[in-house]
């Protein structure tokens, strides 16, 4: 087992990562537009397609160089979307960059479980990790080991061993002066950043309680099994519905709102959490796997502060993605889906920052960091927020109270066997009181 991080070590590492990002390394600086930054995308679904487009927009010298996906048929549609977007941009600007920006011949289009190694080894400078979450720790470690800058989509893992691996990769990236950008995109949304600046400046005093929600009607439709699919392929094509691949929806999707909790408390870890969850509306079919359709989690912080999070996938019910904060001298309400950012207290405040494309901003920051030689490293907060969500899932699945130290040290490895197409056990639906923490 990797040595788990203590609370003190976690805070110390966070400070070190922040300090390292301010140091200029001339050897890594790349003049903007003076040479190509070759980009490889690993995971060519919707998020990979979006990330590839954003990477092409982020820098004049960015070049789509290599692509990889578990399933070969995913690559061409992804490439078509990127090509179409760049064609529109060329038409709008009167330029002719598409031939230079897309350089992905057939020999640099890879598929299968080993595709990530071939993309990383194809001569790329920047890697976009947009596969299902279960694969990210291995892919990130491989990219950092050979000196690649990385965009790593959230969440960064599905279990504690994966989080520890990512934390170690972030440390190695810092040591090598590599940039590591996370997919926790709200931290790059101007209106949300403006609100958190107010909170951290003491606008409502010490934070006593936080409530966040991520309530939706569900995910993409599940895919019924085809006769030719193996167990592994069936689960991989429905990865959202198997906690071994997605982490469950509290980890894969609602982690954005859990990240707000982490951010509000300055990324300081809680002491413990307890939770409930289950399946009330999700149909019990093979393709809907074993994930819950609702969670409610309470995190306890030092000094008596508490945070609660609720998320659900219930059809025909209202959606809500919001945060409410109670401080010693006021309250804050943040509803970014409806552009509401308000503080009530000794000095009332309403957000005024214009909106921005937070997905594009992430890539703009990443590529500017590479060009300037001032690395950005989101390793600590992205590991922290992922573990907060995993910790909540552990508490709901087991019915127990889980401490931060227990979560960090957990040996539960959801995917211990090497990846291959073939037989793969179907994970059971967790029953609190029967499932044990490990």
Q: What is the rounded CA–CA span in Å between residue 161 and residue 411?
A: 6
Burial of 409 (0-12, 13-18, 19+ CB in 10 A): middle
Instruction: Let me know whether 228 and 267 are in one domain.
Output: yes
Domain assignment of residue 220, given as a range: 189-355+386-409
Instruction: Let me know whether 166 and 271 are in one domain.
Output: no
Structure confidence by residue, pLDDT tens digits, 306-334? 999 999 999 999 999 999 999 999 999 99
Identify the H or E element spanning 412: none
74 assigned to some structural domain: yes
Instruction: Let me know whether 288 and 157 are in one domain.
Output: no
Indicate if the pLDDT at residue 140 is higher than 80: yes
Instruction: Let me know whether 162 and 206 are in one domain.
Output: no
User: Are 381 and 14 contacting, i.e. CB atoms less than 8 angstroms apart?
Assistant: yes
The full DSSP string for 228-255 is T--HHHHHHHTGGG-HHHH--HHHHTTH
Indicate if the pLDDT at residue 404 is higher than 60: yes
417 assigned to some structural domain: no
As for how many domains the chain has, the answer is 2
Instruction: Let me know whether 326 and 370 are in one domain.
Output: no
Percent of the chain predicted with pLDDT > 90: 89
If pLDDT is split at 50, 70 and 90, which confidence band does 28 have?
very low
Instruction: Let me know whether 302 and 369 are in one domain.
Output: no
How many Cβ atoms sit within 10 Å of the Cβ of residue 362?
Answer: 26
326 assigned to some structural domain: yes
Indicate if the pLDDT at residue 20 is higher than 90: no
Backbone angles phi, psi at 429, to 5 degrees: -70, 130
Q: What is the pLDDT of residue 96?
A: 82
Positive or negative CA dihedral for 3, 387, 191, 150?
positive
Q: What is the pLDDT of residue 97?
A: 83
Instruction: Let me know whether 209 and 320 are in one domain.
Output: yes
If pLDDT is split at 50, 70 and 90, which confidence band does 1 have?
very low
User: Are 263 and 381 contacting, i.e. CB atoms less than 8 angstroms apart?
Assistant: yes
255 assigned to some structural domain: yes
Strand blocks (E) in 159-239:
180-182, 207-216
If pLDDT is split at 50, 70 and 90, which confidence band does 27 have?
very low
Instruction: Let me know whether 31 and 152 are in one domain.
Output: yes
Q: What is the rounded CA–CA span in Å between residue 253 and residue 155?
A: 8
What does the mean pLDDT of the chain come to? 92
Q: Which tokens sit at 429?
A: 């639906």
User: Are 149 and 370 contacting, i.e. CB atoms less than 8 angstroms apart?
Assistant: yes
Indicate if the pLDDT at residue 8 is higher than 50: no
Q: Does the pTM exceed 0.85?
A: yes
User: Are 366 and 187 contacting, i.e. CB atoms less than 8 angstroms apart?
Assistant: no
Instruction: Let me know whether 218 and 263 are in one domain.
Output: yes
**What value, to the nearest 5°, has the Cα angle with vertex 159 and ends 156 and 164?**
70
Largest CA distance in the chain: 65
If pLDDT is split at 50, 70 and 90, which confidence band does 94 have?
confident
Indicate if the pLDDT at residue 51 is higher than 50: yes
Whichever domain contains 16, its CATH number is: 3.40.50.720
282 assigned to some structural domain: yes
Indicate if the pLDDT at residue 399 is higher than 50: yes
Whichever domain contains 238, its CATH number is: 3.30.360.10
Q: What is the pLDDT of residue 3?
A: 44
Virtual torsion, Cα 379, 384, 385, 386, nearest 10 deg: 80
The full DSSP string for 52-85 is HHHHHHH-TTEEEEEEEESSGGGHHHHHHHHHHH
Q: What is the pLDDT of residue 365?
A: 98
Q: What is the pLDDT of residue 346?
A: 87
Q: What is the pLDDT of residue 223?
A: 97
User: Are 249 and 313 contacting, i.e. CB atoms less than 8 angstroms apart?
Assistant: yes
Indicate if the pLDDT at residue 111 is higher than 90: yes
Instruction: Let me know whether 342 and 284 are in one domain.
Output: yes
Instruction: Let me know whether 163 and 23 are in one domain.
Output: yes
Mean pLDDT of 329-351: 95
Q: What is the pLDDT of residue 52?
A: 98
433 assigned to some structural domain: no
Backbone angles phi, psi at 124, to 5 degrees: -75, 160
Structure confidence by residue, pLDDT tens digits, 216-250? 999 999 999 999 999 999 999 999 999 999 999 99
Place of tokens 């996906």: 69
426 assigned to some structural domain: no
Instruction: Let me know whether 238 and 209 are in one domain.
Output: yes
121 assigned to some structural domain: yes
User: Are 139 and 156 contacting, i.e. CB atoms less than 8 angstroms apart?
Assistant: no
Structure confidence by residue, pLDDT tens digits, 159-190? 999 999 999 999 999 999 999 999 999 999 99
């Amino acid at each position: 087992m990797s040595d788990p991080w203590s609370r003190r070590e976690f805070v110390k590492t966070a400070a070190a990562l922040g300090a390292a990002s301010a140091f200029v390394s001339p050897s890594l600086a790349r003049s903007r537009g003076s040479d190509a930054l070759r980009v490889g995308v690993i995971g060519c679904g919707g998020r990979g397609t979006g990330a590839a487009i954003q990477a092409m927009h982020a820098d004049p010298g960015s070049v789509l160089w290599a692509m990889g996906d578990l399933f070969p048929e995913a690559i061409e549609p992804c490439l078509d979307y990127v090509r179409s977007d760049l064609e529109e941009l060329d038409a709008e600007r009167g330029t002719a960059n598409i031939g230079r920006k897309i350089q992905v011949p057939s020999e640099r289009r890879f598929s299968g479980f080993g595709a990530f190694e071939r993309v990383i080894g194809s001569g790329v400078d920047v890697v976009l990790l947009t596969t299902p979450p279960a694969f990210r720790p291995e892919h990130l470690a491989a990219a950092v080991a050979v000196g690649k800058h990385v965009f790593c989509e959230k969440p960064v893992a599905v279990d504690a061993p994966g989080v520890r691996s990512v934390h170690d990769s972030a440390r190695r990236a810092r040591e090598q002066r590599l940039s590591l950008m996370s997919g926790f995109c709200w931290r790059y949304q101007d209106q949300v950043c403006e609100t958190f600046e107010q909170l951290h400046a003491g606008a409502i005093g010490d934070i006593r309680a936080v409530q966040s929600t991520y309530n939706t009607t569900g995910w993409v439709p599940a895919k019924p099994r085809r006769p030719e699919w193996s167990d592994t392929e069936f689960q991989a094509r429905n990865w959202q519905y198997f906690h071994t691949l997605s982490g469950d929806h509290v980890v894969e999707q609602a982690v954005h709102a859990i990240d707000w909790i982490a951010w509000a408390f300055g990324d300081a870890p809680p002491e413990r959490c307890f939770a409930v969850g289950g399946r009330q509306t999700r149909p019990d079919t093979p393709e809907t796997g074993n994930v819950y359709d609702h969670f409610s989690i309470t995190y306890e912080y030092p000094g008596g502060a508490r945070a609660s999070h609720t998320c659900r996938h219930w059809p025909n019910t209202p959606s809500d993605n919001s945060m409410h904060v109670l401080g010693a001298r006021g309250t804050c309400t943040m509803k970014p889906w409806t552009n509401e950012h308000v503080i009530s207290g000794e000095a009332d405040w309403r957000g005024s920052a214009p909106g921005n494309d937070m997905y594009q901003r992430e890539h703009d920051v990443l590529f500017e960091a590479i060009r300037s030689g001032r690395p950005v490293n989101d390793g600590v907060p992205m590991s922290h927020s992922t573990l907060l969500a995993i910790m909540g899932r552990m508490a709901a699945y087991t019915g127990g109270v889980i401490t931060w130290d227990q979560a960090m040290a957990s040996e539960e490895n959801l995917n211990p066997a090497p990846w291959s197409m073939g037989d793969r056990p179907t994970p059971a639906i967790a029953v609190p009181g029967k499932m044990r923490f490990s």
